[in-house]
Amino acid sequence: MTEHSHRPIGVAVLGMGNVGAEVVRILLQNADDLQARVGAPIEIRGIAVADLGKARACATSLLTDDPAALVKRPDVDIVVELIGGIDVPRTLIASALEHGKSVVTANKALLADYTGELATLAADAKVDLYFEASVAGAIPVIRPLMQSLAGDTVQRVAGIVNGTTNFILSAMDADGEDYDVVLAEAGRLGYAEADPTADVEGYDAAAKAAILASIAFHSRVTAGDVHREGISSITAADLASAATLDCTIKLLSICERIVDSAGRQRISARVYPALVPLTHPLASVNGAFNAVVVEAENAGRLMFYGQGAGGAPTASAVLGDLVMAARNKVHGGRGPLESTYASLPIAPMGDVNTRYYVSMKVADRPGVLATVAGEFSARNVSIATVRQEGAEENARLIVVTHRAPDSALSETVDALTELDSVLSVSSVLRLEGTDD
Amino acid sequence: MTEHSHRPIGVAVLGMGNVGAEVVRILLQNADDLQARVGAPIEIRGIAVADLGKARACATSLLTDDPAALVKRPDVDIVVELIGGIDVPRTLIASALEHGKSVVTANKALLADYTGELATLAADAKVDLYFEASVAGAIPVIRPLMQSLAGDTVQRVAGIVNGTTNFILSAMDADGEDYDVVLAEAGRLGYAEADPTADVEGYDAAAKAAILASIAFHSRVTAGDVHREGISSITAADLASAATLDCTIKLLSICERIVDSAGRQRISARVYPALVPLTHPLASVNGAFNAVVVEAENAGRLMFYGQGAGGAPTASAVLGDLVMAARNKVHGGRGPLESTYASLPIAPMGDVNTRYYVSMKVADRPGVLATVAGEFSARNVSIATVRQEGAEENARLIVVTHRAPDSALSETVDALTELDSVLSVSSVLRLEGTDD
């Protein structure tokens, strides 16, 4: 159906970085298509930038360094927030919503902690708050979870949602290089920031896990609820070891519905590097690509794969949200907002059942395996496989467990480090993506 | 946000087969969750079945054999059509829309030809017409294409969207069995219908290609616009041959935006079995699974993977649509309907650039290769690889071409069959999923 003419929809863009510049380019370049899809022209009312003097590929008359005024303008219907950070965009988005503007943002750090506050403002103003670009770039994940699976019961979301760490781990796996070497290379190629902490220590992946868990389980999960471990201690030896077990190592964001023996439901949200069998679909997601696997009661296992970062792919997700928000301005109605009715509590990491991979240097003498195995069995942890490698000062023991409460596993590792026959525990990683 | 109380949303379910029974089960079983997500209880007003006497897992008071009366009932807000066929559901859906009911359907055959008519009725009544379940079962494809990618320019959609043929081709590849043997096996296992024509001859995949192309390119594409070839002539030898080229064979539904030298855009929509390199993501989609790869200007390549058929997975997609339609009844607004503003014409198959794989029995004498190669070059078709196999009466020539207009390729094959030195052309297949 061709839509009939409607007054133009005014858009304010906050931030003209990598993504902002692409959003502006597409808005101008595809104006005719976007108008046909929305049922009204989309017009940029202003672009807020920090430095008015910097050369940009857009009309300078649109530029402003007063975003607070821009988001309140009566001729602005939708605000696209691409500034990043927390405090400044939080205030701007709140102001925009209070003034009846719909908001599209890619800001995962902000959303991970303040979706509740912002969604309440959006609900009061009967406007949209969309954030498809906040998780996994161009890959549609938020909308499928919120809408396509709205009639299903999601059991688990597990994904590779940070391109920097996936680039680093993929390169370490492919080249056998150590972490520091590959991190430096990632920085040179533009895959890692000057300060890579947010990526390599898992903060970015944890914010995304919080967003995914909130949506998947209709509960409020914030970044602080997410158990988080980074990749900076992963070594070339770990990847080599993983390979001998037909696994690779991936930084996973995992959101799980956990049902205890009394039938009480809780949420586990966690980020850590884990061994993943090479046969698992996430094992072959390499480089800066992202993928999210969703398991739902009726849909079964779904996988979404694509580019998780970059200006144009992220802009594609922003534009999708923008077109839908604009359509709602034209036709009435609005998309679903935060849904927290289930209010499931967060399970502490210790209560989550996981599998451990433990690599240790051991004394090369009889009885060591029995002693080590004794520590596992003392805590009811069942061992799946043991491999003994090397001899004399290079003697190593590699243990892979069956599923057990994470607390029992970590207590076992603590006990192992106390043993005389265990010289050092060189690596402890979890194993994910197996059925048993 | 917990939604405030709203009058119940009444639902009519038409058809109580595999999918209908699952939809009813989930509606009853997850009533509390669905109510919280919609903001109002969802209540089944009636279930239309052909045979009232058959035992069913639902209250018999809900059953009716008068669907025409059911879809008009004033207490019905949404009609879920799962009857199948074309004429009967077409009339029922039209009546439902005319009476202001939103409609959710999984009926690809109907949609492939009548989306235009039905979408017009839905637009006039300002209600929803949703059909996520019509393509690729539980996998969210329609909503991502219509909404998440609403701000992007889709270039290509290529997918494995028929589970029956994928099961057959996967089994032929794995076991080396011939088509008839595997088809019989598929029938025994419930993967093929008693009359498998709609699946194996590509009619089902073509209907889905028409739906996908319509949405992706904002143009009206019907099943008759789709070039269609089935899998019934694929042999075990073809799969063996594909394997020697590091390929497998998949029945693909391909929708492509084609730009000619004058910059004019056209649509190609086609279904055929094709060689796919083992390194391509679609090559590892086996059994009854489905996957759809979308390439868009800004998003890049996305892949969606999951269960393409079955009662519960299809019901999951139906329920997602149902919840969104119910939300719109509660909150106002509606989802996007058919968008045909681009009105791109369909390119005839002959104009589409493809790559051919041609396997032929040849006379074992000098000069045969030169003669064969001459037929290709006479039509400006460039050969990528040639392999000569066997000798004497088993001499074969296997040619893989570069991209060329399909008409030039098929004319070349016709010419080859006329050559004295070509005893027979045993197989002609296209090659997809390569960059060159």
Residues of chain B with CATH 3.30.360.10: 142-307
CB–CB contact A22 B298 (8 Å) = yes
Confidence category of residue B3, pLDDT binned at 50, 70, 90: very low
Residue A3: its pLDDT value, please?
A: 46
Percent of chain B with pLDDT over 90: 89
Q: Give, in order, the Cα–Cα distances in Å from B417 to each of A239, B362, B372, B394, B408.
A: 55, 10, 10, 17, 15
* Confidence (pLDDT) at A2: 45
Do B303 and A300 lie within an 8 Å CB cutoff?
no
Q: What is the pLDDT of residues B55-76, one digit of tens each?
A: 777 778 899 999 999 999 999 9
User: What are the residue ranges of CATH 3.30.70.260 in chain A?
Assistant: 350-431
Average pLDDT over chain B, rounded to an integer: 94
pLDDT computed for residue A4 by the predictor: 54
Q: Å from A156 to nearest chain B CA?
A: 15
Render pLDDT for B262-290 as a digit per residue (tens, 0 to 9).
889 999 999 999 999 999 999 999 988 99
B193 is in an annotated binding site: yes
Cβ distance of A303 and B301 shorter than 8 Å: no
Q: What is the structure's pLDDT at B1?
A: 41
Tell me the mean pLDDT in the region B327-336: 89
B51, two tokens: 């045979």
The complex's ipTM works out to 0.94
**Least Cα separation, residue A351 to chain B (angstroms):** 26
User: Does the annotation place A108 within a ligand binding site?
Assistant: yes
Q: Is the pLDDT of residue B2 over 60?
A: no
Interchain CB distance below 8 Å, A143 and B144: yes
Q: Which residues of A touch B33 (CB under 8 A)?
A: 153, 218, 342
**What is each CA distance from A316 to A168, A393, B79, B151, B301, in whole angstroms?**
25, 55, 33, 6, 12
* Statement: A350-431 belongs to CATH 3.30.460.90: no
Annotate B187-203 with b (16+ C-beta within 10 A) or e (fewer).
eeeebbeeebebbbbbb
Q: Do A341 and B36 touch (CB under 8 A)?
A: yes
Contact criterion met (CB < 8 Å) for A148 and B148 = no
Chain B residues closer than 8 Å to A309 by CB:
none
Is A208 one of the annotated active-site residues of the chain?
Answer: yes
Q: Class of the A9-137+311-331 domain?
A: alpha beta
pLDDT of B4: 54
Q: Where in chain B is the domain with CATH 3.40.50.720?
A: 9-135+311-331
* Alpha carbon distances (Å) from B2 to A123, A126, A337, B353: 10, 14, 10, 53
Architecture of the domain made up of B142-307: 2-Layer Sandwich (3.30)
Q: Is the pLDDT of residue B110 over 70?
A: yes
Cβ within 8 Å of residue A188, ≥6 positions away: none
Among A238, A229, A245, CA closest to A177: A238
**Which chain A residues have a beta carbon less than 8 Å from that of B140?**
140, 143-144, 147-149, 302
Which residues of chain A have a CB within 8 Å of the CB of B30? 151, 153
C-alpha B429/C-alpha B436 separation (Å) is: 17
Instruction: Supply the DSSP symbol for A296.
Output: E
In this complex, the residue of A302, A316, A331 whose CB is nearest that of residue B333 is: A331
- The answer to whether the annotation marks A342 as part of a ligand binding site is no
Q: What is the pLDDT, as a whole number, of residue A436? A: 60
Contact A124, A147 (CB under 8 A): no
Of A123, A316, A318, the CB nearest to B1: A123
B240 HSE (CA, 13 A, CB side)? 8
pLDDT per residue, tens digit, chain A (436 aa), is 444 579 999 999 999 999 999 999 999 999 999 999 999 999 999 999 998 888 777 778 899 999 999 999 999 999 999 999 999 999 999 999 999 999 999 999 999 999 999 999 999 999 999 999 999 999 999 999 999 999 999 999 999 999 999 999 999 999 999 999 999 999 999 899 999 999 999 999 999 999 999 999 999 999 999 999 999 999 999 999 999 999 999 999 999 999 988 889 999 999 999 999 999 999 999 988 999 999 999 999 999 999 998 999 999 999 999 999 999 999 888 888 889 999 999 999 999 999 999 999 999 998 999 999 999 999 999 999 999 988 888 899 999 999 999 999 999 999 999 999 999 999 999 999 987 6
Nearest to A299 among B37, B152, B313 (CB): B313
* Whole-number pLDDT of residue B262: 87
For B9-135+311-331, the fitting CATH number among 3.40.50.720, 3.40.50.300, 2.130.10.10, 3.30.2010.30 is 3.40.50.720
Instruction: Give the A:B interface size as CB pairs under 8 Å.
Output: 215
- Say what the pLDDT of residue B337 is: 85
Nearest CB to B152 within list A297, A319, A338 = A319
